[in-house]
Amino acid sequence: MTIKFTQDHEYIRIEGQTGIVGITAYAQEQLGDIVFVELPAIGKTVKKGDETAVVESVKAASEIYAPVGGTIEATNEALGAEPAMVNQDPLGTGWMYQIHIEDPSELDGLMDEAAYADFIK
Amino acid sequence: MADTSPQDLKTVPLNDVHVALGGRMVPFGGYSLPVQYPTGIITEHKWTREHAGLFDVSHMGPSFLLLNEKSGDPDADHAAIAALVEPLICGDIKGLKPGQIRYTLLLNETGGALDDLMIARPADPDWAGSLYIVVNAGTKDADFARIAGASAGKATLNRADNCALLALQGPDAVAVLSSLIPEVAELGFMTYRSFPWNGTVLVIARSGYTGEDGFEILVEPEHAKAFWDALTLDGRVKPIGLGARDSLRLEAGLPLYGHDLDETISPTEAGLNFAVSKRRREAADFPGAARILKEYGGELSRVRVGLLVDGAPAREGAEILDASGAVIGKVTSGGFSPSLSRAIALGFVPPDHAAVGTKLSVSVRGRSQSAEVAALPFVPHRYYRKPV
């Protein structure tokens, strides 16, 4: 299993042709308490960098961008009732959506764990 | 997710305390202040509603206006100083009892709000002929210039915004503060007095911006840390950032200047008729009286309402739509209510859409979400009422 990171603090966990997308532990800490998550429609096709979700903290709304292009296959409906899972377990139960990766070469420009750890220092 | 650089911002006397506590320092009215501590806004908000929250609001503008020449008759001196500020505002200052605080508005000639502020008459007759005035951070330089200008030659305005201004708010606030200064328990809501404490003098008002019982305390900068430490030693007290202060005041239905109030908005439109004192109304002797009295009589084009919003929070600037989809107003502040676990907002709509229960909608990111006009406050006020 591979995990990659964007400069906008999204992660994508790659399992074959599928990616699980969410925001990093660093991002959720910066945002503070998450109170609402707007998720994309299943079946929607997105390009790399498109706005795909919105997380609302008490203070403000922040856009979540697609780390790669592809088709939305599933979303984490549990966040509707419990958006705070993004704070509690951002890389686990706080995932946002699953995307079918259109072009795996788009992953090449993303950071690996070590590079991201360096990036947020 | 841009990090905010606290450079070029003014710092408050307790800056190092907030940084050491892990406060996330962001700009508020030109000052670097904590929006939250590591516990987070929701926990801080709920703690304040259940126990006692300690806020640093030293960005605000406390000041004292002092008559240059006193007659020695406390009532005459109070009347003289009241007469200097009343032409700027819609409140009855002359009629304040010793120690009483009044919430009022600084108005322009067309009745728009230049600021909302607190003006208080000292309890001690030796201090008659002075007023304790607290204005908002973003407007303080202009406000102070206006007040000083109106009283030039007759009174002197002494700024006290080098001091720390702390707010202790919540149901345990009185027990906590009276463990240090027993007499504060006798202060009525919206009254203030000065109290000696550990070699300094604290100016303590029973007031606040959360809807809870509580106090706002002015303390000299060199004594601020000792006082903060004395309060936080009490297990019922936690430091609370200005993020929770905003969510608390929103639940309490209290307007925020620069958002729910600005120089186009009158006190009547903002639902603040209580701040237009009866004596001033009858005399029609305040700025913008012609407009405000007409509005008072029912000729209004917009009024401030509370909205219960379904789904994502509707933030400032979001359009408010009627049942047919026509835009009828805008949200002026909105967010998430930790007490109600839902989105709430304040905004302005025409009076025929302002009745509690009216079904409206708000536009968030181009999509329409249901909203309903709600009674204010969203969360009941629990101010202290002195037993009679």
Closest CA to B306 of B260, B274, B365: B260
Q: At B3, give phi and psi (nearest 5°).
A: -75, 140
Q: What pLDDT was estimated at residue A59? A: 86
Q: What is the pLDDT of residue B387?
A: 77
**Contact between A35 and B243 using a beta-carbon 8 Å cutoff:** no
Mapped onto helix, strand or coil, the DSSP state of residue B41 is helix
pLDDT at B386 (0 to 100): 82
Mean pLDDT within B271-293: 97
Top residue of B250, B336, B337 to mutate, by most chain A CBs within 10 Å, is: B336
In order of their start, the domains of chain B are 10-58+163-251 (3.30.1360.120), 61-148 (3.30.70.1400), 301-374 (2.40.30.110)
Q: What is the pLDDT of residues B290-314, one digit of tens each?
A: 999 999 999 999 999 999 999 999 9
Mean pLDDT value across residues A58-72 = 95
Q: Is B311 on the interface with A (CB under 8 A)?
A: yes
Report CB contact under 8 Å: B336, A61: no
What ipTM was predicted for this assembly? Answer: 0.89
Q: Is A31 within 8 Å of chain B by CB?
A: yes
Sketch out chain A's domains with CATH numbers. 2-119 (2.40.50.100)
Q: What is the pLDDT of residue B7?
A: 60
Q: Is the pLDDT of residue B3 over 80?
A: no
Residue range B63-67: average pLDDT?
Answer: 98
pLDDT digits (tens, 9 = 90+) for B174-186: 999 999 999 999 9
Q: pLDDT at position B4, please?
A: 45
pLDDT at B381: 97
pLDDT, position B1? 42
Integer angstrom CA distances of residue B378 from A32, B198, B201, B344: 23, 39, 36, 8
Q: How much of chain B, in percent, has pLDDT values that exceed 90?
A: 97
Instruction: Render pLDDT for A39-61 as a digit per residue (tens, 0 to 9).
Output: 999 999 999 999 999 999 998 89
Q: What is the pLDDT of residue B78?
A: 98
Burial of B297 by CB count in 10 Å (0-12 exposed, 13-18 middle, 19+ buried)? exposed
DSSP E strands, A1-121: 2-5, 10-15, 18-23, 34-38, 45-46, 51-57, 61-65, 70-75, 97-101
What is the mean pLDDT of the segment spanning B323-331? Answer: 97
The closest CB to that of B315, out of A8, A30, A61, belongs to A61
pLDDT of residue B2: 41
Q: What is the pLDDT of residue B8?
A: 79
Mutation pick from B26, B37, B39, B42 vs chain A, by most beta carbons of A within 10 Å, is B42
Task: Report the C-alpha dihedral over residues B365, B39, B341, B382, rounded to 10 degrees.
Answer: -120
